[in-house]
Structure formats: structure tokens, C-alpha cells
Amino acid sequence: MDEVSTWRGNRSHVIYTVAVFILLASLDNTALAMIPAMVKPVSSELGVSEVAIGFMTATVVLITALTAVVWGFQGDRSNRKVLLLVGTAVWSGGTALSATAGSYGTLFSYQLITAVGLGSIASVGFSMVSDLIRPGRRGLVMSFWGISQGLGTLGGGLLASQLGAGDFRQPLMAVAIAGLGCAVLYIPAFNPPRGFREPELEGTAIGDDHVIDRSQVPALMRKPTNRWLILQGFTAQFAYGSLIWATFLYQSKVEAAGYSEATATKVGGLFVAIFQVGALMSIVAGHIGDRLQERTPRGRALLSAAGILGAIPFFMVFFFVPLRGLDVTEGAGTGQLIPEVLRELATNPWAATAFVSAILAIALTSADSPNWFALISDVNLPEHRGTVYGLGNLTNGVGRAIGNGMTGPAAVGLSASMPPPWNWATGLALFQVFFLPTGYCYWKAAETSADDIADVRSTLRARAGG
């Protein structure tokens, strides 16, 4: 008993808990990313159009965002560990059921169950992670939280494009089993009191004395920085949501180069997976955000604005560069295709251009995620963070669903005047305009964050003083 008491909440226990959270955040994005990476196999197997699959994935994103608000609010007033265990069981079960679907309607229904569970990881998980990190390290540690989501998306697309090229059910079942395994890992994790790492509350036990109630929600929406941070997610996710179709774009580019659908699915998935390495720059961006924030309360927001706006021209190159002279083996397995794709990146100037532009675009936008997470934590009291994150995730989800759901119809509409893959490239490019108002929102958040952060610190000091 003494050993358990000593371990509870110590450095090793906290590190273990954060690691499990990062794994959870990765897996839920893996689950979200798989169906879009298997559009052709799923639509062929179930006998529906690619646009119908796009509508389903957009709906899943939207339901995930809607339920995240409810999960987040409950997490700010009750036992967060129990909520996360239940949520993980729900999304894993929904994903396992999806692997058994024999019709579009059945798959749609099971994916909605998955979406309800996924909402818990987003908001409740964020609330707990923010309580495990000191304010001065939030950008850096939140970068791992953000990277895990990006790697989950990458892993979902890669797993689906390779394992699901012949049977879309196999990757779904694999991720469902992994989710249930992660739930087991989470059982011994630390359940921190709210405000556990706030300097003003160290040595006190008053964090869980404060919980949210419904009457406080309007005040959270009136807080200036919250408004700008929530609004930016709506516009940003129009662009980010469309990017989930980048795998399909590159699959179409490979198919246009003369390869079969099965080979194009694998090679396109490998290209986009490799391009995601730029997301590792999120670690650097999070660290820079921490350092800038020490100098000025405007630091995180200004860094995010610069990254978002600077990425736009590189995304344009990434969309439109053709894959001319592509030389891979038709019908080869993944093991053979990986070195061939890597060789193309080194020797084919068109593939190399796509690689460099993708790395730069993703590296620049990587400043957004960790600093947004950190700002939500900085400007809100511990018992409000899950709810505000849920509200932000809702607007993110609505924007992402629109971007995700409208890219397909836009590309199909453009196909009358331009053939694949150029209709898909143009459709993706059109949605990049929404990064412009996103940069403006971050600029406005930079003007209001100092006062909101000062209010939080003052309230926490008052609580600690009794």
C-alpha cells in the first residue's frame, strides 16, 4: 500500500499517464482517418458512390465534435477517468462493428456509434492532460499530443491504404482491438485533481473543490480570447478538413500515371504518409511558443498566425505538382513499394518537389495545434478547460465536416471541365482561402490573451490564499 501511495501522482506515474493519453489521442484519429483512405474499396464493396462515403465521413466528424461538448462538460464536473474508459470502449466497439458491416446503412450506423465514443478522447483527454503539465511547458508537451493526432491520422491512412486495399474490414478490426488494449493500459493511469500543475495551487488540495455549472458557460463564451480561438477553428478546419482527401488526390495522380486502382491506392497512401514527416516540426513550434510566451503573452497566437498564413503557397505546389515519370512495380506488395517510393522521392524531380512542398506546408501549420491547445489552457480555469475545448472542437468539427464533405462534391463538379487528378487538386486549393481569416483570428487573440491570462492567475492565487 505504501508503494502504491508513493507512486500515485509522482513523476513516473504522470509520465505514464501522459504517454497513455498520447496513445489514445493517436488511436482515435486513426479510427477517423481510415474510411477516407479506403474510399474506392469501400464504395466498390458496398455499391455506393464516393460522394456518399464522403458524406458519411463528414457526418462522423460532426457527431464526434457535437458529443465532445457533452463529454467535456461532464468531465469538468465528474470523474474524468471513468468517462474516458467508457468513451474508449464505445468507439472501439463501434469500430469493431463497422468491420462487420455488409451495407452502406449498417456501416453508417456503426460509424455513428464510433463517433460518440471518439468525442470523449478529444475533450476529456485534453482537460486531464492540461492538468498534468506546468504552464511554461504546455506548448512543448501539447506538441506531442498534437503530433500523436497527426500520426494517428497518418497511421490510419497508411494502415487503411495498405491493409484495406483488398478488404476494408481488416484495418477497422485491427484498430478496434488496439483501442480496447489501450483502455486496459489506462486503468492504472493517474487521475489528477483539477489544477494539479498550476503553480498557484501547488501543495493545496482545492482543485476539485471547483467544478463547472451551466450558468458559467455564457461567461466562457464572452471571454474575448475564447471567442477568437473558437472562431479560428471554424475557418481553419474548412482547409484542414479538405486535406483528408490528399491521400485520394495522390492515389488519383498515381492512377493517372497508368497504374491500377489497387497499386494506386497503395502508392498514393505511401506518398502521403511519408509527406507527414513535416508534422514533427510541431515539437519545435511548441517549444518556440513556450519561449515566446515567456517574453510576451501574445507569443503563441502570433506564432500560429505566421505559420498558418505562410503555409498557403506550399500547399498550392503540393496539390498541383504532377507525378511524371513515376516508376514503381505494378501489383507489388507494400514491402517492395516502400523502397521504390523512397527512391522516387530522391531521383524523380516531380516527386521530390511534392515532398519538399508538403514538408514545408505541414511544418508551418504545425505551429497551430500545440499553441492553440496551450492557449486554451492558459486563458481558462482548470474546471472550464474541457468545456471550452469541447466548444472549440465543435466549431472545428463543423468546419472540418464542411471542408471534408464539400471537397468531394466540389471535385466532382469540376470534373466536367478538368479530368482527375486536377479536379481534386483544384477542389483542395479552393479551400485554402479559409486560412486567411484563421490568421486574422489569431492576430485578434494576440490582442486579448494577456488580460485573460492575468485573470486566471489572479483567481488561482485567490483560491490558494483561502
- For 262-283, the pLDDT digits (tens) are 888 888 888 887 887 887 888 8
Cα angle: 217, vertex 221, 227; to 5 degrees:
155
More confident residue, 334 or 229: 229
For 329, 340, 394, the CA distances from 323, given in Å and listed in that order, are: 15, 14, 37
- What lies within 8 Å, CB to CB, of 316 at 6+ separation is 429, 432
Domains of the chain in sequence order: 2-201+212-464 (1.20.1250.20)
User: Residue 204: left if φ>0, alpha if ψ -120 to 50, beta else—which one?
Assistant: beta
- For 379-400, the pLDDT digits (tens) are 999 889 989 988 988 888 788 7
User: Is the pLDDT confidence value at 435 over 90?
Assistant: yes
- For 349-381, the pLDDT digits (tens) are 999 999 999 999 988 998 898 999 899 999 999
Alpha helical stretches, state H, 321-384? 334-347, 349-365, 368-378
What pLDDT, on a 0 to 100 scale, did the predictor assign at position 165? Answer: 72
Which pTM value belongs to this model? 0.79
